[in-house]
Each structure stands twice: as structure tokens, then as C-alpha cells.
Structure 1
């Protein structure tokens, strides 16, 4: 039995003990012999579970003392499974009520804090929870709590698609200090020589890329009633709303971060290839060739809906009925659309060459006393994350602009 299951089992046992005691207190009497026997049985069971929890936590503390690279795959798989068990709704409700976390939420926060070496100001939720949607209350989400419950028909706000992280970006989690990753610079030079001639002399050189912590976050307001609803669909809405506060900023930073307060994005990275938005089939093939000449494969396009529409209206050759954009592809490579992409530009490249370093999971902090949320009976929720972006090989990307 894993730690999550043990914590949940202990919580259930304690609840049963409390129910027995509350029932007796409500009737202004002591426990009956039968109830007392049951209570003692539950108490023994709780102590046994707690002992198991202590053992598991002790063993995990020993595992955490080992560098991350030496942690077994099984341990990491357990952590990934644990992430999927975390309920954002449970975390928020616990903060509103002033209760400590329990179950999967408690175990996840302990693990996240020990991996990152940082204590959350509120509580951590998985960084992988990034989704899209925003502010909700009982008015905008009335269909979710009405008698005629139809969550499948919920009409959410229009949001820019946060798609870059789904295009193969590599994520490094559990970081603490600055991260320096060594990188190949130049190699040895070889040549043909005649008899008794000396071979060419050369040296290898190396470079490095650095990731340093940068912070992003925002605040949103949610009604107390909405958060307290038990529907799984409301859990999804809360998760998406909070996550969007962080997700969009990270998505924009990967694309066009300036490197000042935010990470340095692809568009502003020195050394990326450049080109012009194609107007013919030959120009599409030339852009692809530029990257293939740099030994880059696994290519994808990322552009705006306007560019997609323009390419979809240009025939490869007059009268063929074949267009530059067709069936979700340009040049037989996937074309993704994002409103986070600046107008008049698109990126062609291998997005697995992007590193997203994560120092802090999404840290959510609930404040039921902040105005004007307090006056309306709602709660203010702040979400923050700490991360950075680095490009492994700038020449893995080509930035095309209109009239470049």
C-alpha cells in the first residue's frame, strides 16, 4: 500500500472514530459497550496505519537524500501517479477552512517541497495542470449548480490556446540553484595528408546554457459557493482558471520572452535562422531546407490564425486545387495555431530543443479576507510559479516574418 492510500485509510479511520464520539456527545451520553469496543478497534487500527506511514515517510526521506539522477524509475512513476490524484478544490477548501492538507494533497506537497527545497507560501499543485479558462462565480457558472445539471454544456470564456508546451518542450523539474548545462561548441578538424606529412592540429571547444529562476503569477477571485461545490466539473473549472494565470505567461515567454524579467524566448534568441513568410510552394520548401541543412528534423510550424488563412488561400500551382496549408499541414509538416504568437510571424523548428526549467510548482495561496472579494463572500486566490526557458540549439528554429 502506497503512502497516498495509507493517508486516505487513516483519514477514513479517524472519521469513523469521530462519528462515534459525536453521536454519543449529541445524545449527551457515554459510548455504549459495543461502541467503545468499536472505538478501541479503530484506535488500534489508526495507530497501526500511522506506524506504516512513519515507515514509508522515513524510507522516502532516505531516498530524497540521493541525487535526483539516482532516484529509481519506480519512485518517479509513483510521483507522476500522485500528481494525477491531487485535487485543487480540496486544497482551496482546506485553506478557506484553515485546515491542514490531507491525503494525496498532503503527500504531494511534502514531496514537492523536499524535491524543490522550498516551502510553499500556500500549497503546491502540479505544474502539469496548466490548462485554459478564467474567472468563475455562481452567476457565470450557474448551469453547474442548478437543479438541471448539464456540465457538458458549460460555456467557458474564449481563451488563447496555450499550445507550445504540448509541442515537445522538454521540462526539467525539481530544480534548486542556477542550472548550467554544458554544450558542444566546435569539434576536431580532420584532413587528408600525404606520406610523412603532419595531420592537422585542432582543439575541441565547449559552451553552456544557463537556467536561472524567474517568477510569474497572478490573482483571481472565486465565489465561496462555487469552490465548495463537490461536482468534478467544478474541480476542472477551478483547476483551469488557476492554471491559466500561469500557463499563458509561460507560453508567451517560450515564444517571445525578452529575457529581462521574463525568460528569453525563441523569437529573441541570438542565432535563430530567419526567413520570409512564404508566398509560393518553392519558398515553403526553401524554409524547410534551411533547417534540414542544419541537421534538424522533427519540425513543426507555429503561427497565427491569420497566417494559416493566408497560406490556405495560396495554391501550390495554379489550377491544382492543392494549397500551401492543407489538412493541418504546411509542407507535410504539422501547423499549429496560437494567439500568443505575434502577428506577421511564425516559427518553424524542433520544439524539443526548448528546455523549460521549473524551480517551483504552481503555488496557490487563498485569501478569504482580501477586498473586494471578502465583501462579496468570495475568496481571492493567487497563483505563482518559478521557471526559466533556454534554447539548446538556436539553429533548430527558423523565424519567418512578413517582408523580412
Structure 2
């Protein structure tokens, strides 16, 4: 049995253990017991995250070794050499660097079959997709395990479209299309390499206890459960690339192309996690999840006060959900307003938002807790006569925000639509979903104004 297969089995066991720990935590109403169970949840999550790192490295190594035995070896690009244990990875980063999206695009645009490492990764992406229950149709397919070195340009003759980036040497390794989400910084539970629909049992009713007489029967108390389900939803995006660039075999095309795709995907996933409508094939974001706490400022909205910020924390606390990765999330406009708003009318330079920086990557502090901003938090909400000027402020345990990804990326080159402009449209499909495990873990203000 290969190391990667062993790690996949172990990852499944750890995911089950993590789910079980969350069920046990959510099944008790005792505050102290919930705190203890929350530690078990954190420990189980850390173990699952670690095995995912080990699995990705093992899969990358096996894919590279397979490539080295075939076409990859013929072109003398292998970095695997024999060792005492039968094979030793000399430099995993070099293996990742040797995959070239541009080389794959060039072959595909010329109607050629993929060769070498690009062909091997095409096959690996197919394997991942089949395991996830997803059908790929693209001419280029990139598996989730790949994190190759990336290069950049868009149009050689146009500086604003990439001309400045034409270089003569390989740049630093950056991850392939892995969204740097603000929700990740907030502590969202991020699940990759999923297969099929994933269900999380949820206890949605408390057990009641009643003092009884010495010889009387206990009152019946039924615990009720429902499920939270993650299922793959297709996210489509595209980028326009000059044909002149595809002809280049040197340096720097992938960094800019991939960073643009990365931004597009990250923006869409963040938007869905925060404010997805749940309709038109979108996931349901926190703000539109039924059952989250609500704090209203006024009939026509209003400028948020320190009391409103505390009320958000209270709304979560009274539901026994003030645990885990607690944080605030709002817009840059609200941050600016709160930086200039004192906590009370009698306070002296004690502003609601402070710029205390910490190792967690937070952007500030509200009510003694981490606070973040994102331009994707809505700022055009309506309340009463305040039309399209209200901002949202979120608070909660972001560990209960689930973000799932299935398989890798499915890319199709369209060299017909923009042929008259000597451009190629690169169409990208990926599969994601978002869900909130416990709505009571979050509370929101949807009528905050700047004045």
C-alpha cells in the first residue's frame, strides 16, 4: 500500500473523529463541558489539518516519481534519484516548478496532446475528479495536489497587461490557485479533496432535565438532529491571454495569469461565504443563513455604538456559542468610522476600534477581540429610508463556517472567440460549497451607517 493511500485512509478516520468531537460538543449544554469538548474539537481539527499537509506532499512525490519514469525522465527533468530506501526526493519544490501551465496551454492551443509532466497531471486530475464524483471536460486539468512554480506575463507589448513582468529567470514558488481567503484568517474550517456530498449531523434541540419524585418516572426528553450538507457547486471564471505570450517558452507568464485566476476564485468564494444568496447556484453565506443572531440599530439604521458591538457578542453568548475562533468582520468604511467614535460620551480618546496588531494577522480589535475588514462585506444594504447605504457587521465563531473544495481545476482554451484579436480565453471551472454548522454561532448588524 502506498504512503499516499495510507494517509488518505488516515485522513478519513481523522475527519470522522473531528465530526464526532463536534457532535459531542454540540450535544451538551453544560458550559464547562462544552469548553472541555471544544478543546477536543480543536485537537481533532489540528490533527486533520496536519494529515492533509502530509498527504499533499506524499501525493506530489508519487506523481513526480511516476512522471520521472516516463516522458519526464526522457526530457531529463527528473529530480528523483535512487537512495538507500529505493528512491529519495531531492527537491520537492523543483518538481512542482517543472509543471508549466504555459507549456500545457501552448500544446493545447496547437491541437497537440499533452506530454510529459503536464500529461501526468492531467491524468491525476481525472483521478481526483472521479473520486469526487465530478466530470471534467477541459483540455488542461490541474490536480489539487499540484503547487508548481509559477511564471508571469499577459501581453508582451503592453506594460499594463504584463509587459513589465517579462523576465529572464525563475521567480519564487507560489501556490497554484489557492485562495488566500479572509475567512481562512478568521478561522473558517477549510476542507479540500472532498469526495461526494459531506454531511455533518447537528443537534438542534436541547435535552431537558426535570427534578422528579423518588419513585416517579422521568419525563421523556427527545433529542432532535438535522444535518448540514456540503455539495459541490461549480464556480466558473475566465482570463484573457495574448497568443503572443503562449509562444514564449521562457519565464514569468504563469505568475500573473495564475494570480489573476487566484484573485477571481478567492473573491467569489469569500463573497459566497460572507453573503452568498443561496439561490442561482450560489452557496448560502453567513448573512443569509436562517437562524443567526440579529442586532438592529434603528428603524432607518444608524451609526454603530460600542453598545451595538457588545450586543453582537451577547447575542452569540446567550446561545451558548461564544467559543472557538471568535472575531468581528465588517467593511473598511465602518472600521474608519469606529476609529473616530469614542466608546462613551464621557471617555477620553478611547475609541471603539483600536489598531492593536497581533500574530494572528488580525487588522484590529473590537471589544477586546480580533477584528477584520473585507471589501466583500456588503455596504449597500437598505433599512427603512436608508436606501443602499447600510453596512454589515458580523460577529461569531468562524470555526463553524465550513468551506469545502472538490477536485482540482478544469481549464478549457477557447482560441476561436477572440481569434480576431490574437487572444485566447482561458475558462476555469472549480467546485466549492459553503455552510454554517451552527447558525447561533453568528450574529449580524445589517443597518450600520457612516453618518
Deviation at 1:213, TM superposition (A): 3.4
Q: What residue is the counterpart of 2:387 in the other structure?
A: none
TM-score by length of 2: 0.64
Compared CA separation, residues 177 and 332, structure 1 to 2 (3 A)? same
Q: What residue is the counterpart of 1:400 in the other structure?
A: 445
Secondary structure at the counterpart of residue 70 of structure 2:
helix
Distance between the aligned counterparts of 2:97 and 2:73, measured in 1?
24
Distance between the aligned counterparts of 2:257 and 2:249, measured in 1?
12
Q: What residue is the counterpart of 2:141 in the other structure?
A: 124
Which has the larger Rg?
A: 1
Q: What residue is the counterpart of 1:326 in the other structure?
A: 354
Deviation at 1:202, TM superposition (A): 1.3
Compared CA separation, residues 163 and 84, structure 1 to 2 (3 A)? farther
1:215 aligned onto 2:234: yes
Greater CA drift, 313-322 or 255-264 = 313-322
CA deviation digits over 1:339-360, x for unaligned, max 9?
A: 1111011211122212223344
Distance between the aligned counterparts of 1:396 and 1:196, measured in 2?
40
Identify which of 294, 299, 309 aligns with 1:284.
Answer: 309
**Where in structure 2 are the equivalents of 1:5-44 lying within 5 Å?**
5-8=65-68, 10-15=70-75
Identify which of 197, 214, 224 aligns with 1:195.
Answer: 214
Q: What residue is the counterpart of 2:401 in the other structure?
A: 354
Distance between the aligned counterparts of 2:143 and 2:370, measured in 1?
29
Deviation at 1:259, TM superposition (A): 1.3
1:141 aligned onto 2:162: yes
Structure 1 spans left out of the alignment, 5+ residues = 17-48, 50-55, 57-78, 153-160
Distance between the aligned counterparts of 2:250 and 2:349, measured in 1?
49
Distance between the aligned counterparts of 1:388 and 1:80, measured in 2?
30
**Aligned-residue RMSD, C-alpha:** 3.8
Compared CA separation, residues 228 and 144, structure 1 to 2 (3 A)? farther
Q: What residue is the counterpart of 2:51 in the other structure?
A: none
Secondary structure at the counterpart of residue 402 of structure 1:
strand
Distance between the aligned counterparts of 2:434 and 2:153, measured in 1?
28
Distance between the aligned counterparts of 1:302 and 1:402, measured in 2?
14
Structure 2 spans left out of the alignment, 5+ residues = 1-60, 77-81, 173-179, 298-302, 356-363, 380-390
Deviation at 1:222, TM superposition (A): 0.4
Q: What residue is the counterpart of 1:381 in the other structure?
A: 426
Deviation at 1:80, TM superposition (A): 12
Identify which of 263, 270, 276 aligns with 1:257.
Answer: 276
Distance between the aligned counterparts of 2:208 and 2:295, measured in 1?
30
Compared CA separation, residues 178 and 113, structure 1 to 2 (3 A)? closer
Distance between the aligned counterparts of 1:253 and 1:201, measured in 2?
41
TM-score by length of 1: 0.70
Identify which of 165, 168, 183 aligns with 1:164.
Answer: 183
Greater CA drift, 256-265 or 311-320 = 311-320
CA deviation digits over 1:350-399, x for unaligned, max 9?
A: 2221222334433111122x222x22322110011222221110111111
| Corresponding pairs, count | 333
Compared CA separation, residues 283 and 215, structure 1 to 2 (3 A)? same
Distance between the aligned counterparts of 2:167 and 2:75, measured in 1?
30
Q: What residue is the counterpart of 1:299 in the other structure?
A: 326
Deviation at 1:84, TM superposition (A): 8.7
Identify which of 99, 102, 108 aligns with 1:89.
Answer: 102
